[in-house]
Amino acid sequence: MQTDHVGVSSPGVVTPPRKKCKRKNRSKALESSKNSKIKDIVPGNPRRIYNVDIMGLHCERVILSIIFSMRVLCSGWKIWAADRCPVVSSDTLKRIASWYTVTVVPTIAMLTLKHRRPPFARRVFEEGVNAFGNTPNGLHIILLHNASKDIMKKCYEGVGSTTMAEVKRWFSLMSTTKQSSLFQLAPSIAQTVFQSGLSSHGSKLESYRQGETEYPFFNPEGLFIQIAHMVWYYTTSSLPGGLPGITELCRPKIPSMKEWERSSGDLFCTVFELDSHGLPVTFIDHTPFIPPKSIANVDLPYIHLQDDSTIHSKKPISLSSLHYKNQELFKEEMISHCDEGTKPLWKKEYNKVMAYMNMMLDSNESHDLKVESSEKQGRSYRRRHPGSTPNHPANFPRDVFLLGDKSYHLGFKDKETKPSRSESQYRSRISFPRSEYV
């Protein structure tokens, strides 16, 4: 049976030689020191006391949702660039590549390093590889199944009508998953567990009593995004440009890993309707209003993107401005659920989210000057060499498992055998400036 915390052992405190104290006071000092150690343990330390409810506010989940929504907003460059000035479209692509390098790569690297297994993932480690057939598809399916079990436990205790509506959305995602290639390519043992669990949950859900407890931070799409990243975390893979594995639970071969990437990406394209997202949406330049398109209950800032990327625009899209607008929308959604009555339950995670948000904005702003300087050099070079054509970035991080064929990794990449710049940055563990929360 899992406990809500990881035990902390203190080696004791050595009393400075010049400062003597009585035995009674010394025992109090030891106890005080032990408590301070527990309180001040940094995130990522295996001794850290950590327990975030599956329906509560979760920093990792929020930040991954923000980054995923930005990936979606920036997708579809090739279609978008067809009617744009070659210089503007090329500089926009370079800005997208810079945003990936400066913001996405180090942020997810930090999230990876500080990741702590939630309860529904711990059970997978207890059961071992036999529970999912030692394949990434099987691991993905079992993680989704275990998350569903924890959600059902909350429903058994009684949840309010708003939370129940979100729970039904989650199981709608699970029904879509069952029809996907992600499920079909999973080992039979994982398929059987997932299918039987889904059938059981569906029949029990309607019989559970409705309570008064609401979980305003529960977001099924955010949890869905987080679990896809967790497959990378728990997998040992040598694919260039991919997320770093932090455990060796799953040890698939490269073809199996690529198969998972494709099947997961196809599922994400279906779930989030990615064909109706991205830069091509801004083609509707004569329309003053774009219908709301949301991810994780947040309407994405397509209006801002439309104003910044008209066909006649002579400037590339400002990725830092777009990131800020998008992040503010997620921030407003989060704050709308924060109230003083539940402050002790969300304050810690809220502070961590704000720290990550501030660091991402700082990284974008500090990089803007370098981008503008590079673009000026490019314009100067093209004036001196009128026949030259803009070059494009060669490498993008591996996010096929999120965007499918919309991933820039598929459109712009070097040979598979050459490690990408993004991967080398992961290996060097690039981190943001220190923060008291992160």
**Number of structural domains the chain divides into:** 1
CA of residue 385 relative to chain centroid, distance: 42
Q: What is the mean pLDDT of residues 296-308?
A: 84
Is 156 within a domain?
yes
Q: Whole-prediction pTM value?
A: 0.80
Residues 177, 227: Cα–Cα separation, whole Å:
13
Residue 275, number of CB atoms within 10 A of its CB: 14
Question: Please, what's the largest Cα pairwise distance for the chain?
Answer: 84
Please report the pLDDT score of residue 176 as a whole number: 96
Please report the pLDDT score of residue 374 as a whole number: 62
| Neighbour-count burial of 101, counting CB atoms closer than 10 A to its CB (0-12 exposed, 13-18 middle, 19+ buried) | buried
Q: Angle at CA 146, nearest 5°, toward 170 and 397?
A: 75
Residues in contact with 165: Cβ distance below 8 Å, sequence separation at least 6, in sequence order: none
pLDDT, tens digit, for every residue of 303-353? 888 776 666 667 888 888 899 999 999 999 999 988 777 777 788 899 999
DSSP 235: B
Domain that residue 102 falls in = 50-433
Place of tokens 């996010």: 399
Please report the pLDDT score of residue 339 as a whole number: 79
Is 422 within a domain?
yes
pLDDT, tens digit, for every residue of 74-113? 998 888 888 777 778 888 888 888 899 889 999 998 998 8
Phi/psi-derived region of residue 117, left when phi > 0, alpha when psi is between -120 and 50, beta in every other case: beta
Q: Which helix (H) or strand (E) holds 73?
A: helix 59-73
Is 31 within a domain?
no
pLDDT, tens digit, for every residue of 212-264? 888 999 999 999 999 999 999 998 776 777 877 777 788 888 899 999 999 99
Is 43 within a domain?
no
Name the percent of the chain lying above pLDDT 70: 72
Please name which of 195, 180, 193 lies closest in space to residue 259, comparing C-alpha atoms: 180
Please report the pLDDT score of residue 22 as a whole number: 44
pLDDT, tens digit, for every residue of 397-420? 889 999 999 999 887 754 443 444
Helices (H), 241-292: 254-271
